[in-house]
Amino acid sequence: MGEEYDVVIVGAGITGCGIARELARYDLRILVVDKEEDVCCGASKANNGMVHSGYEPKPGTLKAKLNVRGVELYPRWAAELDFKLVQTGSMVAAFSEEELPALEKFLERGKVNGVPGIEIISGDEARKKEPNLSPEIIAVLWTPSAGYVEVQQVVLALAENAVANGVRFLLGAEVTDVLVEGGRVQGVVTTRGTFRSRYVINAAGVYADKVAEMAGAREFTIHPRRGTLIVFDKREGKHLSCFIGAVPGEYTKGGGPMTTPDGNPLWGPSAIEVADKEDTAVSAEDLRQVIEKDGRFIPNFPTDTVITYFSGNRPATYTEDFFIEPSAKVHGFVNVAGIQSPGVASSPAIAEMVVGIMKEYEPLHERPDFNPYRKRFVPFRERSREEQAALIAADPRFGHIICRCEHVTEAEIVRAIHSAIPARNVDAVKRRTRAGMGRCQGGFCGPRVAAILARELGVPVTAVTKKGPGSELFAGRIEDLRLEKGAAK
Ligand SMILES: Cc1cc2nc3c(=O)[nH]c(=O)nc-3n(C[C@H](O)[C@H](O)[C@H](O)COP(=O)(O)OP(=O)(O)OC[C@H]3O[C@@H](n4cnc5c(N)ncnc54)[C@H](O)[C@@H]3O)c2cc1C
């Protein structure tokens, strides 16, 4: 039997890491487990990173309440945890008189939900804010409180701060069973051991229904809804500063073009119901639809500057609302499920709500030594010439650029590999440093990053993976493979 904890959190996405960091304020032994080798590998790695203002969720839903509260809490998270939060507002466009009633509907919804500053402005006023908008747009629903984050930076900041405050992360550990005795949760069985705990928080994204089932507490069902996003070259990052989208549909906010805090134009997502939770394929049809739909908003955008595309799955429930409740069947088992969009925007409020649920179970005692602050390492590319020279003088590996597109140095990659949440594969290095996120998408730096990983981890390069076991990058040295082939003849 492994170590004992007060709380085990299943899932190291933005929901699980946010909860871990907020619970770390209290005198609790906390373990976060995730089946992947890194944090931020589920829906949290494949989304727009929009801190939606909250005009879209139906009034009275958890989504409506937690979205607006999340927007209020984000500036404090950003200040304490030192991640980029860009608040440039968001727009919903009407191209014709027929679409105006829909804008009015979401204006009213926004007011009921408590969205600050929400208003409808004319197309001309919108073009004063965003000069590249289509001249065909006649009116816009404007919400100034919307913001944007790089979600991987938020999740890493939360996880690092949680670790600094005593939370343990066990990655590459899939939960295969939840222990329940006498109607009370007792812990989890994972592929890396069994861990007893008085509470289990289920933040397993699209798999939350499966984890709940393991506990005998399946009180909801998750059906994955795939969304495809397209990333463009940073050189085109000046076309738009805020998000502009279509009038939301029944099940999605509709997507639209935006620019990420790190400067990449990002279009999409689409919304397609899929049967398989692992189906993150990208189809030509998805891409065509996103390009056609989003191109309407900024018609002069050069769409041939695509650098990559990807899909993620929203963990939708049949009510379309978040499902955040202590289980009615198993004492101490808390479901934090159905966290589809606006899950990123709501994450500080979700964590706050879960702390409230835990306080219903028992009084929580604040730790006097809790440190809410975490300082990010300012990337080499963002520093002044003088600072760069000082870094190189202290460590010559800062003078060795590995990723030419994003100007990532060898020293930063080494730092990522030995950080509080250590990077163990090429994608994990990318999440921490942006190496491979640029125009060539790792064509130049990929093998170099792999070689540094092999050196720092003390493994052969053939053991280095893209994103964990099963995604090995190299079969062997060409010379050795040739010899093997020759020997087999
Ligand atoms: C295309 C797209 C665009 C989106 N855009 C936005 C947006 O702009 N703004 C916004 O607010 N929201 C957006 N969302 C929604 C947002 O991404 C999610 O709400 C959020 O990421 C959910 O985070 P999570 O931590 O709950 O889930 P996840 O990030 O999926 O994390 C769940 C974790 O649980 C782990 N896990 C699962 N099963 C097990 C097991 N058995 N054992 C151990 N670990 C397990 C997984 O490996 C995973 O890491 C978007 C979603 C998509 C798909």
Which residue's CA lies nearest to atom 15 of ligand 1? 341
Q: Is the CB of 260 under 6 A from ligand 1?
A: no
Q: How far is CA 362 from CA 6, 119, 414, in A?
A: 12, 43, 43
pLDDT at res. 476: 84
Question: What is the DSSP pairing of strand 193-202 with strand 184-190?
Answer: antiparallel
Residue 479's pLDDT band, with cuts at 50, 70 and 90, is confident
Q: Is the CB of 12 under 6 A from ligand 1?
A: yes
Lowest mean pLDDT across 118-127, 248-257, 397-406? 248-257
Transcribe 168-180 into DSSP letters: EEEES--EEEEEE
Closest atom of ligand 1 to 151 CA is 21
Residue 213 neighbours by CB distance under 10 Å? 13
pLDDT at res. 229: 97
Q: Is the CB of 314 under 6 A from ligand 1?
A: yes
What is the rounded CA–CA span in Å between residue 330 and residue 69?
A: 29
Mean pLDDT of 46-60: 97
> Which of 52, 223, 400, 418 is flagged as catalytic?
52
Which residues fall within 8 angstroms of residue 314, CB to CB, at 6 or more apart?
Answer: 43, 224, 225, 226, 227, 271, 340, 341
pLDDT at res. 349: 98
What is the rounded CA–CA span in Å between residue 51 and residue 263?
A: 16
Residue 480's pLDDT band, with cuts at 50, 70 and 90, is confident
pLDDT digits (tens, 9 = 90+) for 291-309: 999 999 999 999 999 999 9
Which residue's CA lies nearest to atom 13 of ligand 1? 341
Q: What is the value of pTM for the model shown? A: 0.96
Rounded-to-5 percentages of helix, strand, coil across the chain: 35, 25, 40
Query: E-strand spans in 41-157?
Result: 50-51, 85-86, 90-94, 119-122, 139-143, 147-149
Which residues fall within 8 angstroms of residue 367, CB to CB, at 6 or more apart?
Answer: 24, 25, 26, 27, 165
Q: What is the dihedral of CA 434, 437, 442, 446, to 10 degrees?
A: 30
Asked if the model's pLDDT at residue 253 lies above 70, the reply is no
8 Å CB contact between 453 and 473 = no
Q: How far is CA 233 from CA 131, 262, 302, 397, 449, in A?
A: 20, 11, 10, 27, 21
Distance 199 CA to ligand 1 centre (A): 21
Dihedral of CA 239/242/247/249: which sign? positive
Q: Is the CB of 56 under 6 A from ligand 1?
A: no
Lowest mean pLDDT across 252-261, 266-275, 349-358? 252-261
Q: Which residue has the tokens 């968001």?
A: 90
What is the rounded CA–CA span in Å between residue 322 and residue 60?
A: 12
pLDDT digits (tens, 9 = 90+) for 116-132: 999 999 999 999 999 99
Buried b (16+ CB within 10 A) or exposed e, 237-272: bebbebbbbbbbeeebbbbbbbbbbbebbbbbbbbb
Residue 161 neighbours by CB distance under 10 Å? 24
Task: Report which residue type is found at 15.
Answer: T
Q: Is the CB of 175 under 6 A from ligand 1?
A: yes
Q: Closest Cα to residue 93, out of 124, 64, 63, 68? A: 124
- Encoding tokens for residue 446? 């990929």
Residue 489's pLDDT band, with cuts at 50, 70 and 90, is very low
Q: Which residue has the tokens 């890194």?
A: 38
pLDDT digits (tens, 9 = 90+) for 4-48: 999 999 999 999 999 999 999 999 999 999 999 999 999 999 999
Mean pLDDT of 382-393: 98
What is the rounded CA–CA span in Å between residue 351 and residue 435?
A: 31
Buried b (16+ CB within 10 A) or exposed e, 397-422: bbeebbbebbbbbbbbbbbbbebebb
Residues in the chain, how many?
489
Identify which of 37, 48, 214 to mutate to test ligand 1's pocket (most ligand atoms within 8 A of the CB): 48
pLDDT at res. 267: 97
pLDDT digits (tens, 9 = 90+) for 364-384: 999 999 999 999 999 999 999
Helix, strand, or coil here: 226? strand
8 Å CB contact between 84 and 343 = no
Query: If you compute the radius of gyration of the chain from its CA atoms, what whole number of angstroms results?
Result: 23
pLDDT at res. 254: 74
Burial of 487 per CB tally in 10 Å (0-12, 13-18, 19+): exposed
